[in-house]
């Protein structure tokens, strides 16, 4: 937030209010006070002069009505005599005018020239009518104000003349000016003190307020560590206490929200399932890393996109359909590089009123599950197929026998031989299946013992060499020395048996079977190579799959079950070894397998 400027601050406003209040008060007091004082001073001034004029008027009247003879002094002389002493104080000049408007005396000694002259003064003329006249006029030369009074002199109810008086009223105005000056100074001092007091007083209000403002700004930035200082227990103090309480509560609320948020986000990020949340219009508002990975999108770009096209369901569902979907939906997101099958479950976020707030979609990777399910289905189909073929053969032969073929000495033994062969194959098949199921079971264990592999391998080859009925040559490329390995003899015997019987089955007349054992760094590599028909390149890897056969009919004819190499693979894996095949069509096949081997261990044996 912007910093509050001094001219906008509440501080200045407080001071201004104080100063204005004092100013208004002083002005109102000043106007009434000065006005009253001015009136009073003026009235006093006028009254004192009027009093003097009255006294003067009395003596002048006497002089004017006095009987005079030739020897006595003239009126002018007597009046001058009276006026002589009257030029005192504020009085500047006193003139006496007779009823004809002629000036018959003046108090000014150097103004004698005007005596005997007729006055033209309007005020005097009016006052000669019998009413007192007063005025204030400014002397043009000095700019000073003088007060003029023209009072009629009356004798027996008749105006016999007038007294004209000029007095210096400037002193009164000066006094008022002086008082005004004192008042203005007083006002200025009062304003100054008020301003200082205002600043100090305003501070007591504004300081806690600006503290709270600062605190609120800090809170907005997430800083809850500060506290507002409590200066007193008035309303502002209580506000500060409440503010501090509020801060504490807000901090608690925020930390618990933050905690919940962190918990939620760690739950979401450590979940193996993908989670997507949308708003009520189906736009994505939250997606965890897992979901983004499953849908192969980036979390940032996908926010506020529509969920339906993101899941690739726009052809089958609208967002409203998803809100009502109670069953899970299977999404096949497989690419050429990777299989990916997802199960999507939807749950609606709803308020108590039923208002839909959004949708939560949970994506579960069921690729593995689907694969296992598929394999299981395939396996059951394969087993049923494998069993049905010999059973059908047997049934037809047995039917033929029961329908009378048993009497035919030429056919019957043949038929029986076939059923016997098929039965044996079925037994082999069932045995193989049992073995596989044992290998699949979790608690399957192998019992290892230290065996001299060279000798052990020779024995097996010897056994085949003695029992073989084909014209096939065995070539042994085995080390001269003993190689001690820790193996389960029975299981490895079975592996080698399977491989050798395959090699014999597919070897041509006069073909060679080469047996080799190579000693490598940490393993021994066993290979059995024939010169048979070979396996097409694209099928070389598949021969280790259950029931896989390059040529089904031929394998079946040779008594194969399609499980031999699959069993071999399981067993080699149980020994922590590897099995693989190399083959060239028409030239031969080599089956390799490796077993862990530690040359140092072997030294201990020798």
| Residues forming the site for ligand ADP (CB under 6 A) | 498, 502-503, 506, 530, 532-535, 543, 548-551, 555, 560-566, 589
* Least Å from the CB of residue 526 to ligand ADP: 14
Torsion (CA) 183, 188, 193, 196 in degrees, nearest 10: 160
* Least Å from the CB of residue 379 to ligand ADP: 14
Is the CB of residue 548 less than 8 Å from the CB of residue 535? no
Structure-block tokens of residue 493: 């015997």
User: What DSSP assignment string belongs to 324-389?
Assistant: H--S-EEEE---SS---EEEEEEEEEE-TT--EEEEEEEEEE-HHHHHHHHHHHHHHHHHHHHHHH
Toward ligand ADP, which CB reaches closer, 288 or 589? 589
* Least Å from the CB of residue 440 to ligand ADP: 16
Is the CB of residue 97 less than 8 Å from the CB of residue 128? yes
Is the CB of residue 332 less than 8 Å from the CB of residue 344? no
Is the CB of residue 440 less than 8 Å from the CB of residue 481? no
| Cβ neighbourhood burial of 496 (10 Å; 0-12, 13-18, 19+) | buried
In the bound state, the residue with its beta carbon closest to ligand ADP is 560
The 3-state DSSP composition of the chain as helix, strand, coil percent (nearest 5) reads 55, 20, 25
Tell me how far apart the alpha carbons of residues 178 and 17 are, in angstroms, rounded to a whole number: 29
Toward ligand ADP, which CB reaches closer, 15 or 533? 533
Toward ligand ADP, which CB reaches closer, 284 or 540? 540
Tell me how far apart the alpha carbons of residues 409 and 424 are, in angstroms, rounded to a whole number: 23
* Least Å from the CB of residue 541 to ligand ADP: 11
Tell me how far apart the alpha carbons of residues 482 and 456 are, in angstroms, rounded to a whole number: 10
* Least Å from the CB of residue 299 to ligand ADP: 47
Structure-block tokens of residue 135: 């005025």
Toward ligand ADP, which CB reaches closer, 453 or 506? 506
* Least Å from the CB of residue 579 to ligand ADP: 11
* Least Å from the CB of residue 507 to ligand ADP: 8
User: What DSSP assignment string belongs to 474-500?
Assistant: EEEE--SS--EEEE-HHHHHHHHHHHH
Toward ligand ADP, which CB reaches closer, 283 or 556? 556
Q: Are strands 484-487 and 512-519 parallel, antiparallel or unpaired?
A: unpaired
User: For residue 405, what is the DSSP state?
Assistant: G
Is the CB of residue 307 less than 8 Å from the CB of residue 278? yes
Toward ligand ADP, which CB reaches closer, 50 or 542? 542
Toward ligand ADP, which CB reaches closer, 183 or 580? 580
Residues whose CB falls within 8 Å of the CB of residue 587, separated by 6 or more in sequence, listed in order: 531, 534
Tell me how far apart the alpha carbons of residues 208 and 202 are, in angstroms, rounded to a whole number: 10
Toward ligand ADP, which CB reaches closer, 343 or 514? 514
Is the CB of residue 141 less than 8 Å from the CB of residue 111? no
Toward ligand ADP, which CB reaches closer, 154 or 505? 505
* Least Å from the CB of residue 274 to ligand ADP: 39
* Least Å from the CB of residue 569 to ligand ADP: 9
C-alpha distances in Å from residue 102, one per residue of 105, 117, 152: 9, 5, 14
**Which residue blocks in 441-579 are alpha helix, DSSP H?**
453-467, 489-506, 552-557, 564-574
Toward ligand ADP, which CB reaches closer, 11 or 569? 569
* Least Å from the CB of residue 558 to ligand ADP: 7
Toward ligand ADP, which CB reaches closer, 106 or 507? 507
* Least Å from the CB of residue 548 to ligand ADP: 6
Toward ligand ADP, which CB reaches closer, 488 or 530? 530
* Least Å from the CB of residue 583 to ligand ADP: 7
């Amino acid at each position: 937030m912007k910093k509050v400027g001094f001219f906008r601050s509440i501080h200045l406003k407080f001071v201004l209010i104080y100063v204005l209040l004092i100013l208004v008060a002083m002005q109102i007091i000043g106007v009434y006070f000065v006005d009253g004082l001015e009136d009073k001073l003026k009235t006093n001034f006028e009254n004192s002069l009027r009093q003097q004029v009255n006294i003067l008027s009395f003596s002048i009247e006497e002089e004017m009505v006095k009987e005079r003879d030739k020897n006595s002094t003239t009126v002018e002389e007597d009046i001058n005599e009276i006026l002589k002493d009257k030029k005192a104080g504020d009085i500047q000049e006193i003139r006496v005018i007779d009823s004809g408007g002629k000036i018959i005396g003046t108090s000014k000694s150097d103004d004698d020239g005007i005596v005997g002259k007729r006055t033209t003064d309007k005020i005097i003329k009016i006052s000669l009518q019998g009413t007192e006249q007063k005025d204030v006029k400014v002397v043009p030369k000095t700019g000073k104000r003088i007060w003029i009074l023209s009072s009629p002199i009356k004798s027996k109810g008749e105006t016999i003349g007038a007294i004209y008086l000029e007095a210096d009223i400037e002193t009164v105005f000066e006094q008022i000016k002086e008082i005004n000056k004192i008042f203005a100074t007083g006002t200025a001092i009062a304003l100054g003190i008020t301003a200082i007091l205002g600043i100090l007083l305003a501070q007591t209000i504004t300081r806690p307020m600006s503290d709270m403002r600062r605190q609120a700004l800090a809170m907005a930035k997430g800083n809850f560590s500060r506290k507002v200082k409590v200066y007193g227990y008035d309303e502002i103090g209580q506000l500060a206490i409440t503010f501090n309480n509020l801060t504490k509560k807000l901090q608690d609320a925020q930390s618990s929200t933050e905690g919940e948020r962190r918990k939620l986000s760690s739950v979401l990020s450590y979940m193996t399932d993908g989670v997507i949340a949308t708003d009520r219009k189906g736009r994505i508002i939250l997606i965890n890393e897992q979901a983004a990975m499953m849908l192969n999108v980036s979390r940032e770009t996908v926010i506020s996109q529509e969920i339906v096209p993101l899941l690739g369901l726009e052809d089958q569902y609208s967002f409203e359909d998803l809100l009502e979907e109670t069953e899970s939906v299977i999404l096949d997101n497989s690419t050429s590089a990777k299989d990916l099958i997802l199960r999507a479950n939807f749950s609606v976020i709803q308020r108590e009123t039923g208002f839909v707030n959004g949708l939560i979609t949970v994506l579960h990777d069921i690729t593995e599950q689907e694969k296992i399910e598929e394999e299981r289905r395939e396996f059951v189909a394969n087993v049923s197929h494998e069993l049905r073929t010999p059973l059908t053969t047997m049934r037809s032969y047995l039917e033929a026998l029961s329908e009378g073929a048993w009497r035919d000495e030429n056919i019957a033994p043949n038929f029986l031989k076939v059923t016997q062969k098929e039965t044996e194959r079925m037994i082999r098949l069932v045995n193989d299946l049992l073995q596989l199921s044992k290998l699949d079971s979790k608690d399957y264990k192998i019992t290892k013992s230290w065996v001299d592999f060279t000798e052990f391998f020779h024995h097996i080859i010897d056994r085949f060499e003695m029992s073989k009925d084909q014209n096939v040559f065995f070539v042994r490329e085995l080390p001269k020395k003993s190689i001690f390995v820790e193996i389960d003899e029975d299981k490895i015997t079975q592996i080698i048996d399977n491989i050798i019987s395959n090699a014999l089955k597919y070897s041509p007349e006069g073909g060679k079977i080469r047996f080799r054992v190579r000693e490598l760094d940490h393993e021994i590599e066993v290979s059995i190579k024939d010169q048979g028909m070979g396996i097409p390149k694209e099928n070389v890897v598949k021969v280790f799959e259950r029931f896989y056969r390059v040529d089904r009919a031929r394998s079946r004819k040779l008594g194969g079950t399609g499980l031999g190499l699959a069993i071999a693979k399981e067993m080699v894996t149980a020994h922590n070894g590897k099995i693989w095949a190399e083959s060239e069509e028409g030239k031969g096949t080599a089956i390799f397998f490796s077993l862990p081997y530690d040359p140092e261990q072997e030294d201990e044996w020798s």
